[in-house]
């Protein structure tokens, strides 16, 4: 099983200390595959929530979707799937280079609903400046996670589950990459049984 280790900070993310994961397990490729270098970081800030950064070397990204919950996965897309504690449901946030996102929640590909049906709170998605390619930063507040999953969430050290993806259904060369390898299509990325373990530790305990 894939494992990603990261930190919980007291005041703000210290991105220089947050481990970088590679989105490098490619799936369902054709004869001429496209494999952009793609990476992510995730950390907690106590009492605030979950911070995620994803970026890729993909040039000239497709950005057709302009409105929340349009099929962003058809664009050049970076995605985070997140399940706190031992929650049965998972939250998927799928984002294009303009920061337009699709957000759903549920236990499986077929049983998801749009996040906005559970809460008026929203992920905060911001395009991320990159020297090459493009990226996004996504913030999931404690209040949003609590409302979506129906249980308290304080963003403290512990274990959760998730996965991180790079895809593009209608890009010039469709491509599908994951951090933790997934199975067949379908269910494709919507396979929580293949999610990585995300281990969050107290940042201060690692100060040198």
Q: What is the pTM of this model?
A: 0.96
58 domain-assigned? yes
134 domain-assigned? yes
Q: What is the CATH number of the domain that holds 33?
A: 2.60.40.1190
Report the C-alpha gap between 101 and 99 in whole angstroms: 6
Report the C-alpha gap between 168 and 180 in whole angstroms: 18
44 domain-assigned? yes
Report the C-alpha gap between 19 and 2 in whole angstroms: 14
Number of domains forming the structure of the chain:
1
Give the residue numbers spanning the domain of 115: 3-202
86 domain-assigned? yes
Tens digit of pLDDT at every position of the chain (208 positions): 799 999 999 999 999 999 999 999 999 998 999 999 999 999 999 999 999 999 999 999 999 999 999 999 999 999 999 999 888 999 999 999 999 999 999 999 999 999 999 999 999 999 999 999 999 999 999 999 999 999 999 999 999 999 999 999 999 999 999 999 998 878 899 999 999 999 999 998 755 4
Report the C-alpha gap between 9 and 18 in whole angstroms: 10
208 domain-assigned? no
Report the C-alpha gap between 41 and 133 in whole angstroms: 16
207 domain-assigned? no
88 domain-assigned? yes
3-class state of residue 54 by DSSP: strand
113 domain-assigned? yes
Residues 28, 176 contacting (CB under 8 angstroms): yes
Q: For tokens 């905060």, name the residue.
A: 124
């Amino acid at each position: 099983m894939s494992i990603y280790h990261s930190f919980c900070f007291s005041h703000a993310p210290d991105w220089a200390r947050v481990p970088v994961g590679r989105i490098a397990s490619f799936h369902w490729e054709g004869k001429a595959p496209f494999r952009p270098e793609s990476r992510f970081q995730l950390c907690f800030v106590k009492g605030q929530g979950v911070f995620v950064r994803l970026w890729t070397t993909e040039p000239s990204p497709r950005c057709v979707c302009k409105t929340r919950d349009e099929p962003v996965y058809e664009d050049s897309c970076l995605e985070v799937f997140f399940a706190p504690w031992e929650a049965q449901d998972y939250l998927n946030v799928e984002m294009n280079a303009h920061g337009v996102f699709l957000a759903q929640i549920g236990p499986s590909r077929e049983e998801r609903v749009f996040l906005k049906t559970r809460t008026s709170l929203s992920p905060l998605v911001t395009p991320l400046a990159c020297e090459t390619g493009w990226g996004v930063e996504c913030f999931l507040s404690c209040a949003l996670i609590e409302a979506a999953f129906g249980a308290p969430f304080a963003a403290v050290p512990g274990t959760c589950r998730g996965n991180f993806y790079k895809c593009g259904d209608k890009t010039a060369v469709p491509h599908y990459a994951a951090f933790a390898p997934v199975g067949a299509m379908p269910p494709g990325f919507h396979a929580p049984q293949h999610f990585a373990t995300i281990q969050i530790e107290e940042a201060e305990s690692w100060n040198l």
